Amino acid sequence: MDYSPLLISLKVSITATFITFLIGIYVAYLVTKLNKFKGLIDGVLTLPLVLPPTVVGFFLLVSLGKNSIVGKYLALYDKSVVFSLTAAVVASTVVSLPLMYRTTRGAFEQLDRDIIHVAKTLGLSEHKIFLKIMLPNSFPSIMAGTVLAFARALGEFGATIMVAGNIPGKTQTMSVAVYTAVQAGNRHLAYKWVLVMAVISFVAMIIMNRFDKNQFAKVRKAVS
Amino acid sequence: MKFKRVSIILLVTILSVTILFGCKTKDSDAPGDDAVVDTQPKEKVELLVSAAASLTDVMGELKEEYKAVGPETDLNFTFGSSGSLQAQIEEGAPVDIFMSAAQKQMTALKEGSLMLDDTIKTLLVNKVVLIIPKDSDLKISSFEDLGDKDIKKVAIGDPGNVPVGQYSEEIFAHLDLKDKIKSKLVLGNDVRSVLTWVENGEVDCGIVYATDAFTTDKVTIVTEAPDGSHKEVTYPVGVVKDSKHPDESKAFLDFLSTEKAASIFKKYGFSMK
């Protein structure tokens, strides 16, 4: 059995999760601060979650293809994003970002305003409030969001096959390998990849539940 | 705090795994867009072939075979539905060769002058066949027998959205079977589900492509659809205009028409045009 889809999947989803983690938290922070256009920006950021992945993929294909601004710029250096590992990372990042952003924003908004106000009166800068108060207090939710984003990035299929293609050994992730195996009538191979994916996703869920439990434990401790 | 320690360990593991994988790819398979050429005596040419998903298995074998014929050419494949492959080529995916499962997509690309016109040819034909479960004891030898009352369930692809279902209907219309067979039809939402039903004996017989029937040993092919009873299922191939290696691409297409390649295509149920 060729293990390249497993490696590619892990590589793509870990990189995508890392990017999503940074952007997701930052964007969530910005949106909580926003007064105007909150609904609009929130809608745009959540769109990849509600749109069918193939639609997202087609949109990415068009906006990264050779007729796009990005594509034309890269063409100057004789490069192209379409059908590369980068494209797979972009696809996974875009579809997993809403999960990270939503979970983190929820946590930020549920923070006790009083703590932040106290910090302000004590002269802490915005920057420090974010790092020392908002982040640590939302930590369990952020981790849960990260795990969700990772699981989503790992399972990404529709957008990936559109922009990154299905090149065995290069851009063929596990989900795409399952599709190819089924198309080729290779049931056994499909079963194997399904099993591998199920195990990884299951482990991710267990990790997420752990964070949830810790969160409740903390709350209970604080109350009692 | 135990919780903090766990998360730190997790983070470190994830990061080190990333680094590990990161290093591994760089020595083994440099992605095409990095354009790092290994210091090999002969410069290798990399071709990317966009092929219809139904060609997955056969292209794997042909790739191995081509290593002996064109050792300087490295073949890479991307498989998908012909429609999305078309969209990808239109958006400038770095594809050299396009192998479509229908004329429609090839024609569209040709009209958009995205193909090298003189390289386009129809390479393969996929026959539409009638199949029964291997252990079936029904007496059936032709499409006309489908009208018999012994046959209770006939699986075909949904004519609304599955091409092979449309061909099945054309065959029924051609043989004037439509009324007799109407109540027996079981519609599958793709050709693979039709195949699975026949494999498991859930229906008496089914209509699929020859290439599907060849993927399993649990079904028997009764007969091919009579000539002219339906639109021919053909696979056109051609070199993409933006290909950086048109000569190597043409050489590969030429190889696909040789006796050697034809025998491999036949093994997977394709017929040559």
CATH number at residue A51: 1.10.3720.10
Assign B11 a pLDDT band (cuts: 50, 70, 90).
low
What is the predicted pLDDT for the residue at B24?
A: 44
Q: What is the average pLDDT across B61-68?
A: 92
pLDDT score of B200 more than 50: yes
Least confident of A31-45, A74-88, B3-17: B3-17
Q: What is the average pLDDT across B81-100?
A: 91
A159-199 per-position pLDDT tens digit: 999 999 999 888 999 999 998 888 777 888 999 999 999 99
Alpha helices in B29-117 (DSSP H): 56-69, 82-90, 103-111
Q: B181, B146 in Cβ contact below 8 A?
A: yes
Any B CB within 8 A of A203 CB: no
pLDDT score of A220 more than 90: no
Burial (Cβ within 10 Å: 0-12, 13-18, ≥19) of residue A201: middle
Structural domains of chain B sorted by starting position, each given as residue range(s) with its CATH number in brackets: 43-125+233-272 (3.40.190.10), 128-224 (3.40.190.10)
In angstroms, rounded to a whole number, what is the distance separating the alpha carbons of residues A179 and B261? 26
Are B94 and A82 in contact (CB < 8 Å)?
yes
Which residue on chain B is closest to A81 by alpha carbon?
B33
pLDDT score of A211 more than 80: no
Among the partner residues B57, B88, B192, nearest to A165 by beta-carbon distance: B88
Q: Does residue B189 or residue A47 have the better pLDDT?
A: A47
Q: How many domains does one find in chain A?
A: 1
**Coil, strand or helix: which one is B182?**
helix
Q: Is the dihedral of CA A202, A205, A211, A215 positive or negative?
A: negative
Are A185 and B79 in contact (CB < 8 Å)?
no
Query: Look-up: residue for tokens 């809403």?
Result: A98
pLDDT score of B16 more than 70: no
Least confident of A76-85, B26-35, B55-64: B26-35
Task: Tell me the CB-side half-sphere exposure of residue A204, using CA atoms within 13 A.
Answer: 24
What is the predicted pLDDT for the residue at A77?
A: 84
Among the partner residues B29, B53, B87, nearest to A61 by beta-carbon distance: B87
Both tokens of A120, joined, read 């302000």
In angstroms, rounded to a whole number, what is the distance separating the alpha carbons of residues B273 and B271? 7
Q: How many CB atoms lie under 10 A from the CB of residue B14? A: 16
What is the predicted pLDDT for the residue at B28?
A: 41
Q: What is the pTM of this model?
A: 0.76
pLDDT score of B22 more than 60: no
Are A61 and B88 in contact (CB < 8 Å)?
yes
Assign B191 a pLDDT band (cuts: 50, 70, 90).
confident
What is the predicted pLDDT for the residue at A207?
A: 82
Q: A52, A158 in Cβ contact below 8 A?
A: yes
Can you give the residue range of the structural domain that contains A160? 4-223
Residue A80 main-chain phi, psi, to 5 deg: -150, 140
Question: What ipTM does the predicted assembly reach?
Answer: 0.75
In angstroms, rounded to a whole number, what is the distance separating the alpha carbons of residues B155 and B29? 45
Are A185 and B216 in contact (CB < 8 Å)?
yes
Interface test with B, best of A18, A83, A84 (most B CBs within 10 A): A83
Question: What are the distances in angstroms from CA A157 to CA A51, A105, A177, B208?
Answer: 13, 26, 10, 27
What is the predicted pLDDT for the residue at B17?
A: 56
B104-142 per-position pLDDT tens digit: 899 999 999 999 999 999 999 999 999 999 988 888 889
Are B77 and A168 in contact (CB < 8 Å)?
yes
How far separated are the first and last CA of chain A, in Å rounded?
54
Both tokens of A4, joined, read 């390249």
What letter does residue B226 receive in the DSSP assignment? P
The rounded percent of chain B whose pLDDT value lies above 70 is 85
Q: How many CB atoms lie under 10 A from the CB of residue B7? A: 18
